[in-house]
A and B are shown apart, each in its own frame.
Chain A
């Protein structure tokens, strides 16, 4: 599904990501963890094209996407949420979804229809996505007026709207209490049931350990371990990285 091969990114002299390689298989939930500043967010930003890789290759379904512009990467099936909520605050809830809604490939309506046509059919689709995300009753509200938890759910809903194959979650549990984390865990498992592949960047171990199939651990932009949650918990290098031992 997602193949990352020897990618690297320097900011000034700092190697934010250094010769990193890992794979994510179809239908898998993979956790990407590591101490602060270990390059997790940079990795996600490289995958979805916020900035280009300095070297290396990223491919999705055997298609090399490392040089594609951002919106084409989204069209090829990558979608994401953000560490700091980045909704379109001036738009209503359903309009937020509408922005991300991609045209069905089986419908042969042109861009005129897509941009200026009747929105009735799309509204039904949007409603469906919102109900799935537990926001069915907030359809017409302004996105900026939602509560924190609801905004997180709306971001997830918006990420699903582009019909992705791979979804990148950048610290979705940041600032959540344990009830909300439990709810989020269920939602991530629902994504898996839909057949989506998930790459989860997260600090909240309570979530990571209970939801992922496999974990990749980063430190200073390098992969230091990879394996099942149990293996990772017992890994000496990982413990060292987190506890700060030299």
Chain B
């Protein structure tokens, strides 16, 4: 029985990892760039939204779209300043370092906006309930449904709409897509906005269950999302989705059996093992082959 309870907790956590990993994976898929500032841009979005909420005293219904808006705007900011200027083959290292610089910058701004170590976050007041000896927190159950629903919409958008097809074409080969008339710069910007919306939803879900936000939230998002994506598969959306759930499950079990200290140790041990055995992640592309084929000259 307790195994089932732990697994459920793990999946509940994992579903928000999945959303963040999907955001990472979109950006990596389209640009082949790792955005280290992703978590921080979400934290900044949340911080600005909280500040607006304090000033205007708005209800939670309006608070959610404000979070999503500022998360996507801060993501766009990151794209404009650290990915758009370095969108060439030589820009891989430069863009990663500038994303690190922007990470520090955004964290600093966020801590100015939220000066306390912890800051309360509006939560959805739903009570815990019990089914056949298993305990469910109402808000967490809601979270997992929202996370699955949003992922399903994302998959529909990516596989069924023209925007999704163009996005996949750019991911396949940006140079060719450009020559077929796709505005790749616009696609890049929209992808960052989309990643911001996904991350914003994830951030809201996580923070409202915790009902508080700390300055470390940005770092937490970056680490969990990045690890979930790397485990699931680089550049694979399905991989990112399952990677998040798997990470949540493993963390829950290891921290239950070996103590809470092992939560983080597990995360990074799994990442290392996966990277050694399958560098592209469990469901990902062969990353060496992939990068080579992208470098072919026209």
Contact = CB atoms under 8 A, between A and B. Distances in A.
B165 A95 contact: yes
Contacts of A82: 176, 298
Given A88-B168, A90-B172, A114 B162 contact: yes
Interface in A44-67: 45, 48-50
Given A50-B175, A82-B298, A91 B165 contact: yes
Contact of A80 (B172, B179, B184, B296): B179
Interface of A: 41, 45, 48-50, 70-71, 74-75, 79-80, 82-84, 86, 88-91, 95-96, 98-100, 102, 114-117, 119, 122, 158, 162
B181 interface: yes
B180 A162 contact: yes
Interface in B126-183: 157, 160-163, 165-166, 168-169, 172-173, 175-183
Contacts of B163: 115-116
Contacts of A50: 175, 179, 298
Interface string B269-298: 000000000000000000000000000101
Interface in B91-144: none
Contacts, number: 74
A119 B162 contact: yes
A45 B298 CA distance: 8
Given A83-B298, A99-B177, 5 more contacts: A70-B179, A86-B175, A91-B168, A115-B161, A162-B180
Contacts of B182: 71, 99
Given A114-B162, A116-B162, A88 B173 contact: yes
Contact of B184 (A71, A96, A114, A162): A71
Contacts of A99: 165-166, 169, 177, 180, 182
B172 A74 contact: no
B178 A91 contact: no
B176 A86 contact: yes
B1 to A, nearest CB: 43
Nearest to A115: B163
B179 A48 contact: yes
A50 B173 CA distance: 13
14 contacts: A41-B298, A50-B175, A70-B179, A79-B180, A89-B172, A90-B168, A91-B165, A99-B182, A115-B163, A116-B157, A116-B161, A116-B162, A117-B162, A122-B162
A203 B193 CA distance: 46
A93 to B, nearest CB: 12
Contact of B162 (A75, A96, A98): A98
Nearest to A44: B298
Contacts of A119: 160-162
Contacts of A115: 161-163, 166
Contacts of A41: 298
Nearest to B175: A50
Given A45-B298, A99-B165, A116-B163, A88 B172 contact: yes
B172 A75 contact: no
A48 B181 CA distance: 10
Contact of A162 (B160, B168, B181): B181
A158 B180 CA distance: 8
A71 B176 contact: no
B165 A86 contact: no
Contacts of B157: 116
Closest CB pairs A-B (n = 5)? A74-B181, A115-B163, A100-B180, A88-B172, A99-B169
A185 to B, nearest CB: 24
Nearest to A99: B169
Nearest to B172: A88
Contacts of B161: 115-116, 119
A55 to B, nearest CB: 22
B183 A71 contact: yes
Nearest to B183: A71
Contacts of B177: 88, 99
A71 B181 contact: yes
A185 B173 CA distance: 29
Given A45-B298, A70-B179, A74-B180, A91 B173 contact: no
A48 B179 CA distance: 7
A102 B296 contact: no
Given A50-B175, A88-B173, A91-B168, A102 B162 contact: no
A74 B179 contact: yes
A88 B298 contact: no
Contacts of A49: 179
Contacts of A116: 157, 161-163
Contacts of A80: 179
B276 to A, nearest CB: 26
